[in-house]
Amino acid sequence: MGEGSGYGKVILFNEHFVVYGIPAIASAIGSKTIAKVEQIEGQGWSLDDDRPATPGYKKEKMEHQRDSIERILKAAAIDVNQTPINIYLVGDLKAASGVGASAASCAAIARALSAEFKLGFLDEKINEIAFEGEKGYHGTPSGIDNTVATFGGLIWFKKGVPNIMEGLTLKQPVEIVMGNTGIVANTKEAVAGVRDRKQKDPVKYDRLFGAANELAKYARSALVSYDLETVGKLMDKNHELLQSIEVSSTELDFLVEVAREQGAYGAKMTGGGLGGYMVALTPGEEIQERVARAIEKEGFEALRTEIGV
- C-beta neighbour count of 103 within 10 angstroms: 31
Q: What's the Cα-to-Cα distance from 33 to each of 29, 61, 134, 261, rounded to whole Å?
A: 11, 16, 15, 32
Question: Cα–Cα distance between 236 and 163 in angstroms, integer?
Answer: 27
- Write the CA distances from 124 to 47, 59, 144, 150, 155, integer angstroms: 25, 31, 13, 8, 15
- For the question of residue 49 being annotated catalytic, the response is no
Neighbours of 40 (CB within 10 A): 14
CA contacts within 13 A on the Cβ side of 67: 13
In the three-class reduction of DSSP (H, G, I as helix; E, B as strand; rest coil), residue 121 is classed as: coil
Q: Which residues contact 32 (CB under 8 A, 6 or more apart)?
A: 5, 6, 7, 8, 91, 92, 93, 104, 108
Selection from 301, 300, 182, 179 nearest residue 239 by Cα: 179
Q: Select which of 49, 67, 123, 145 is catalytic.
A: 145
Nearest to 236 by CA among 264, 213, 210: 264
Question: Mind telling me the catalytic residues?
Answer: 145
